[in-house]
Structure 1
Amino acid sequence: MGNIKELVEMRQRITKLEASETQHKHTADILQVQTEEALQASVRQWQSTFDAIEDLVAIIDKDYRVVRANQTMDKFFDGAKVLDAHCYELFHGTEEAIPSCPTYQTFRSGEATHAELCEQHLGGHWFDVFAYPIKDKDGTVQQVVHIVRDITERKKAGEELQASEEKYRQVVENANEAILVIQDMVIKFLNPKTIEILGYSKEEALRESEERAKAQYKGIPIPTYTWQRVDDDFVLIDHNDAAVAITHGKIADFVGIKASELYRDAPKIQEEIYRCFSEKASIEREMLYRFKSTGEEKYLAVKYAFVPPDLVLVHTEDITARKWAEAELRIKEQAIASSISGIVLVDLDGAIIYVNQAYLDIFAYSSAEEAIGHKMTEVAADKEIAQKLLTATQTKGWWKGEIRVPVRDGRTIDILLSTNLVRNEKGVPIAMMASVTDISERKQAEEQLNASLKEKEALLSEIHHRVKNNLQVISSLLRLQERDIEDEKYSEMFQDSRNRIRSMALIHEKLYRSENFANIDFAEYIKSLTSDLFRAYKGTGRIAFKMDIEEDVSLSIDTAIPCGLIINELVSNSLKHAFPEGREGEIGISIRSIEDELELVVSDNGVGMPQNLDIRKTESLGLHLVSILAEGQLHGEINLDRSEGTLFTIKFKETRDTVK
């Protein structure tokens, strides 16, 4: 019945295909995923296969009406109406379904059933009848595949065979040659001549053979239990070593127990043991079972096997790990299917074998069928880009980047693409996977932000430019006013004010000329500021200037302005007072970072300041301003060293955002 089972499986697949509108079903293993083309080929082949079967095949609905029949069945009933007829009328000649019919049993049990029936209604013929369920996604039986084979001739042959067997048994029993029958390494029969030659009694030979078979049984790696038919029940009479291991030795306590007692809460297991015995056929299924011996719950693959004359062997393979792996795989599949990133799986030849809904949405596919089974280079809007990405992935094993690509509805979008090779457990490439994120909105937002930023930078530059110009106007006004002042003391005060304004204007000039409006290159600023001061006080030539600025020190405008004013005051003071009567000397400025602080040092090797001068209480506006700026605005500390000329050290903190 191998072809029949394949037909049922094929019909099951076709039913799922017809019921599905847009959702593609994939197997857990990407290596066994079947393409849509294979399913469509199955649909085309199904009807021809169905009609070519020599057995009578019909599909029965819940009302026991024939909804489809093959040509063999039409010919068998010789013109009688088959479609829409009740199956029990056709086969049994009854007015309703009968309990002994496999189709009746399958509709109620949900399992495949089989029986041999003699139908007096059809001339007393014997039929081998099989029924296979067709279930919906919820597991409810909707239809049954009803398969019938006329075995009348076989039955007659069987009766003739029994007569023949009896005849030959007599021949074998009285033969002068040794004859024995061995099955599954166990002696099942030996004639008197064999006993005579071996020197064993029949009982000894059979016992030795059975002991050898029992040793093999004990060593089976799958837990196995032997049940024996006793009256109307079954009794556990033996088990193998694997059963001892899985129950931690407690299975021995259950030897001799009846199936009805052990499985009182699991009637399905009792039913299957009875069914295996009555049908003399193997039954296989998977189940979640709680062991009474240990209390553990495990997923088991159970196989019931009939052993004549009265035994049922139950093999229970622990598949818990596999079940958990399958559950984990389903979760991963669901996560991929529902991901907001587009996921596509491509075989090594470039054919698409899986896409999730996000991928379909991003690239404007109307359904998965438009992509699956086709070459990536065939369905991509830009075939050249697709080929380059496939080649890069196969060559390097991965690719990642942002690209601009056309999609199927004519739009062009920006995507973040990441590809990689999928490898099996041996590290051999078996497929390629890509993750796609539509970043078009982000790109548009970035472009708008960059445009807005450039606008603001231009505006800020203009502001600094105008502030610088306004300060220069003020400085020019002071210069004009200074021309009318004859008193040198007041003229000097105007010049000091102009220098202070110039120090601030210079900062704004550096900012509007800079590409970075947040920080100022302080070394460049000091060069310009001191150059102006040396010219203003005619210190060029006889007074040297030494600058030691730590590399890459940049200050924010809030720090640069007070620092600039401090340097302006101290350098101006040195140029005016440290080198009287044309004396030569040196003025130095250094800035360096010490841990989380900045240290500004302004020094000269001139005549120095009086020992009794307190810079915080002096009447000098410049020195008083230095004290206020250092302690009040920079929140730093100021120290004065008079040992060798004059050396001011100012330590202060600058925020991390403005120190590079």
Structure 2
Amino acid sequence: MDTINSRAILDGINHPTFILNVSNEIVAANKTFQNRVGMNEADIMGSKCFKLVHGEECGKALKDCPMQMILDGEIKETVEKMMETVDGYCMIACTPIFDEAGNLSRVMHLTIDRNGANDECPRYKKLHHELLENPMVPVFTSNLNGDILFANNAMAKMFGYNDAEDLKKNKVTNHYKNVEDRSLLIEQLFEDGTLNDYELDAVDVAGNTLKLILGAVLKNGMISGMFMDITAKKISEVQLKESEKRYRALYSSMNEAVSINKLVYSKENIPIDYEIVDVNPAFEEITGLSREYCVSKMVSELSKLEKPPYFEIYSKVIETGVPTRFETYFDLLDKYFDISVFYLSNDMFVTVSEDITERKKSEDKIKASLKEKEVLLQEIHHRVKNNMQIISSLLNLQTKYVGGDEVALDVLKESQNRVTSMAMIHEKLYQSHDFMHVEIGEYIEKLVNDLLYSYAVPKDQIVPHVEYDDIELNIETSIPCGLIISELVSNSLKYAFPDGKTGKITVSLRCHGEGYLLVVGDDGVGLPENLEFTRTDSLGLELVNNLVDQVDGTIELDKRCGTKFIIKFRELEYKKRM
């Protein structure tokens, strides 16, 4: 960089700035620094920086001095640090400058007073870091006609050129998005002599818009300065504003009541309350409280309660950071709410409350209606069972009038058993949890025992053995299944054990793949060899075959040891009745 550009850049910085050589001697200083130390540049040249700025306790005497660390080769990038000077504290930024061979040749030292740090420090720290961390900061010198007298490669790269020589073939005015902006810029330079943080729109060689910050000085008819490309930052700001706009629109248009809250602590640092930071329009509508009235008020004050509502829940969300959701009845508003709680930061949390009062009322009506239907269905099953028991009793009475006709007596008894098996299904249904399914295992046990009692089987002659899985069947399947068991067990009781022969009757119902496996058998005398059970005049076996078809099942007969019927079936689907 030539002397003109170096001087122009230094004078364009409005914070005390100087440049050191590797011997820790000041070789250049801007006017702001000269005014700061009360010396002219001629007197400053060759001085050690710490004698002018920090007093004698600096340099090697101060181990963490960033300037000395750069000179010693410990750091090769910009360092920012708050340090004590002879007249107070200040923020300093030290940047190494390397020559073409990569060797340290200079160090730039920039100072920001502590008193101005609150407003200027973040902005200048960022600007300084962006400009100087990379030694190739876009730097230029031009005349008032727009001819580029000097530009470095960083400047060329920023505008899309291969190198600085290509850039210098063009005028500065070619890269102003609005040419009139240059006239305003020059006018201000004539007025003030310098520009700091001057924002302007430029275009690169491809016509793309660049958002730039310019620091420049006008001297002897030449403008010298440096740029910082803030295009990405501006795009981010626009995107952030759009995002905030969308968030605000969503926040304002939500139907749920949204409240942003902050936990409040006592002097002993114990959480005691929470205040409302902001609410959306839906919150105002649902609660009847205006935003102006709510914001900045303690919730205990708003609710007129000693302890704010749901305080433990909200405190736990802040403590753990884990969101939660719960339903509640809020008696102060006489409403039900579905509340979601989220942790934000710094003891702040958000509640999103949906008014579910109408839904709760509808649910209560549905529950009441279902309860009525359950009672009605229970009563229907109970009455059907009672009616079937009456039919069974009538059949039992009828047996007294058939005299010694064994055939008629047997028919009546079988009919009575069939009615009883169906009555038991309805008895189980009105005792079940949903009035639609029967716990089939308990039903089978009771059915077999009732059949033993019906046929007056002596206690020790025939032993029932019932096995089953935990199975529930609907009424469409339970009734035919019960009748099949009733018919097959009745046949065993009547024919398998003649002349008081002892034995065992087995009934097993197990899960089998996607269906069920029913086995009914005995170890009695067995069926006649010439009997084909699928084609018989026996009403009982004919009924069994029809019932197996009804449940879309298959039936097999095993006669190797007594009689064993093996039936595979699936639960029937409920078919809506017209």
TM-score, structure 2 normalization: 0.69
User: Counterparts of 1:139-150 in structure 2 under 5 Å?
Assistant: none
Letter in 1 for 2:556: N
C-alpha contact 1:380 1:386 (8 A) present in aligned 2: no
Shift of 1:251: 7.1
Identify the residue that residue 621 of structure 1 maps to in structure 2.
Answer: 539
Residues 509 and 607 (structure 1), Cα distance of their counterparts in 2 relative to 1, 3 Å cut: same
Conserved in 1, the CA contact under 8 Å of 2:156 and 2:167? no
Q: Which residue of 2 aligns with 1:641?
A: 558
Answer yes or no: is the 8 Å Cα contact 2:200–2:214 preserved in 1. Answer: no
C-alpha RMSD over aligned residues: 3.8
The answer to whether the aligner puts 1:359 opposite 2:283 as a matched pair is: yes
Query: Amino acid of the residue matched to residue 400 of structure 2?
Result: R
Q: How does 1:110-509 map to 2 (within 5 A)?
A: 182-183=29-30, 219-221=132-134, 225-233=138-146, 235=148, 237-239=150-152, 241=154, 244=157, 247=160, 253-263=166-176, 265-267=177-179, 270=182, 273-280=185-192, 281-282=194-195, 284=197, 291-293=204-206, 300=211, 302-309=213-220, 310-311=222-223, 312-317=225-230, 318-319=232-233, 320-321=235-236, 323-349=238-264, 350-365=274-289, 367-380=290-303, 382=305, 384=307, 385-397=309-321, 398-407=323-332, 411-423=333-345, 429-486=346-403, 487-509=405-427
Q: Which amino acid aligns with 1:639?
A: E
Deviations 1:580-606 (A, max 9, x none): 111111111111112211111111111
Larger RCO (CA within 8 A; separation ≥ 6): 2
Cα offset, 1:406, TM superposition: 3.5
- 1:80-114: CA deviation from partner (whole Å, max 9, x where unpaired): xxxxxxxxxxxxxxxxxxxxxxxxxxxxxxxxxxx
* Secondary structure of the structure 2 residue equivalent to 1:469: helix
- In structure 1, C-alpha distance between the alignment counterparts of 2:344 and 2:98, rounded to whole Å: 53
User: Within 2, Cα distance between the matches of 1:415 and 1:284?
Assistant: 53
Q: SS at the partner of 1:401?
A: strand
Q: Distance in 1 between matches of 2:149 and 2:525?
A: 115
- Please tell me the residue identity of whatever aligns with 1:528: K
- Deviation for aligned residue 1:483: 1.7
Shift in alpha-carbon separation, 1:532–1:249, aligned structure 2, 3 A: farther
Distance 1:369 1:534, change over 3 A: same
Relative distance call for 1:637 and 1:194 in structure 2 (3 A) is closer
Aligned length: 454
1:190 deviates by: 6.8
Tell me if the contact between 1:272 and 1:283 (Cα under 8 Å) persists in the aligned partners. no
The CA deviation at 1:284 is: 4.6
* Alpha-carbon distance in 1 for matches of 2:406, 2:392: 18
2:458 is equivalent to residue 546 of structure 1: no
5 Å-filtered alignment, 1:491-570, equals: 491-539=409-457, 540-551=459-470, 553-570=471-488
Q: Is the CA contact (8 Å cut-off) linking 2:447 and 2:486 kept in structure 1?
A: yes
Report Cα offsets for 1:486-511 as digits up to 9, x if no partner: 31111101111111111111111111
Question: Can you list the C-alpha shifts for 1:377-418, whole angstroms capped at 9, x where unaligned?
Answer: 2223655325344434344444432111134xxx31111122
2:443 aligned counterpart, secondary structure: helix
2:461 is aligned with what amino acid?
A: R
CA shift digits 1:49-80 (9 cap, x unpaired): xxxxxxxxxxxxxxxxxxxxxxxxxxxxxxxx
- Residue 538 (structure 1) shift: 1.9
- How far residue 573 of structure 1 moved from its aligned partner, in angstroms, is 0.7
Counterpart Cα distance in 2 of 1:256 and 1:215: 31
Hey, what's the Cα distance between the residues in 1 that align with 2:448 and 2:355?
55
Structure 1, unmatched stretches of 5+, are 1-178, 196-207, 424-428
Deviates more, 1:524-533 or 1:451-460: 524-533
| Corresponding residue of 2:23 | none
Q: Following the alignment from structure 2 to structure 1, what is the Cα–Cα distance between the partners of residues 319 and 517?
A: 55
Distance 2:245 2:336 in 1: 31
Note the C-alpha offset of 1:371.
1.2
TM-score, normalised to structure 1, is 0.61
- Cα pair 1:485 1:491 within 8 Å, conserved: yes
Change (3 A) 1:617 1:261: same
Contact 1:185 1:209 in 2 (8 A): no
Matches of 2:435 and 2:462, distance apart in 1: 34
TM-fit CA distance, 1:647: 1.2
Distance, in Å, in 2 between the alignment partners of 1:256 and 1:267 is 18
Deviation string 1:234-269 (CA, Å, 9 cap, x unpaired) is 537314648737959577643342133233x54465
1:305 deviates by 3.4
Matches of residues 571-590 of structure 1 in structure 2 within 5 Å?
A: 571-590=489-508
Name the % identity.
30
Structure 1 residues 125-178: Cα deviation after superposition (integer angstroms, max 9, x where no partner): xxxxxxxxxxxxxxxxxxxxxxxxxxxxxxxxxxxxxxxxxxxxxxxxxxxxxx
For 1:494, what is the secondary structure of its paired residue? helix
